[in-house]
Structure 1
């Protein structure tokens, strides 16, 4: 792994003694309230976890798939816990999943996918996960005080701008946080919370309550694209003469490890150098990637906290790449897909999905 710039987190080293730290489990059973039958909810694949520290233990909220249905398995969110950040014990049933409720129109039968998590100082946890109904993926929010029982709030953009983005394909919400000890708390910049999200380009969104979010747009009539705004800006008032479109923070780069797709990883971290965002890049160059058509690898961004839509720096090389057998072969192409990051006992632990089939961990010293 490379460490390109002083502002980067890391360098990270894969924990060979523990990896993969989560694998599918054909024994655990769950009664699906939609299908009204018992099934092996994590028998097929487990991957792409969120991570948080609670009561001096590391908790993973991971995506698990069964063998049922037409989308290569319905996804549910399971919960695992560890005393050392490396070895995990899983709960026998999922904690967030499709039900016969008002949210099934978004979640069935693809399921609940790819969570990210933040916590607040008053003991609340906000989980940002992707719902998939077979037609569209929507970034959704759920809230909990114990990580086990969750209240769903539905798609985070459904009320923004009179529903302009309620049906927009959206994924991967990484909220800007400040680290305090072993905890990452959402922090307001310019009097609002910020999130980075997207699949292909990476965009921004703002919120007052961590539940309802508004995508950041820019004026598409020739105005300076750096003049971005959200619901907190007077320029966001309705004006039929001005076209507004989403403002990309970054886009894929031709000829690089992220030439096909960019997608946020864990929560973004406000540091002395700026906002550091770990992200996932999908490349598409067989010659450079050792004969593989595509590959997911990890990069990092540095963003200006005074203007959270302004990129300061971006890695030119991945800092983590597939190399182990369980990262190279599985449900999908060679993949290290980064989603969970905690501070624990003086180190960073980063959790990632491997080939959409298992979960692995890498760690790094803290500066």
Structure 2
């Protein structure tokens, strides 16, 4: 991979203030992927720059951001679905690309294609009836407002970036976004000659196990947001393609072994979901065997007594599936896991009139 004409010397030897400038669509990734990447870069002893959303935005990027780009060894550009919808992002990209193509050739770029196919950037001038191209659509709209000359410069920068070897997610190489982030950190260090600190064996601070139909759009979203704002890195199964009725066993095992702790959100239907029960069993048994994983039960609109009762009545609550699919030994282990976790010290018990004991 070649991401800059000259990329062998340490950023410190060149006097750069920042190792990496993060360019991204805040609408898409500010509170999720980009924040996680920023923290991973810092954990590796790199010096990333990420605007804090407090910079006053107008029709053009500010001198503050231009200075940050100039003082960065590399710009990591996160191309996401709505990146091209923002004239701000496109102006920032154009400035970055001009620095990359400058005569001094000291600024590198590392393009990341996050949930977008790099091929759409080659097709920003071509109509495709088979699939919608969000970048072409956005640029066509921009042309009505800003004129063809300016938008053509944006198109040129987009094409120039896609010509540079970058990294793409999803990809068979990465099981989870955190694996993608690990590769970005390693690539940044390797390609730009920057020493990085070895990553921790733990990738996540908290693994969240929950029944999505009960609380995904309210309590879980709030909990996830609070964890991230407090500088924790959470793992949510639905964000990693594991919210199906049957989880990928190896992927779940990997996530559990990479987590420092797990929050089990007991809710009204948690114990009625075989998927949740399998997650709970794996988490409970791994914690019991290794003593490496801290389990924190949360009781959301249910009490401890109700959860214990769900465990006792598990056979009856899954009559059809119990008879046809699940062995008696499996159900017995599920019961033991429910009771074992329910007896642990609870982080919180969210109760209303229906859950007061």
Higher strand share: 1
TM-score by length of 1: 0.22
TM-score by length of 2: 0.22
- Structure label with greater radius of gyration: 2
Higher helix share: 2
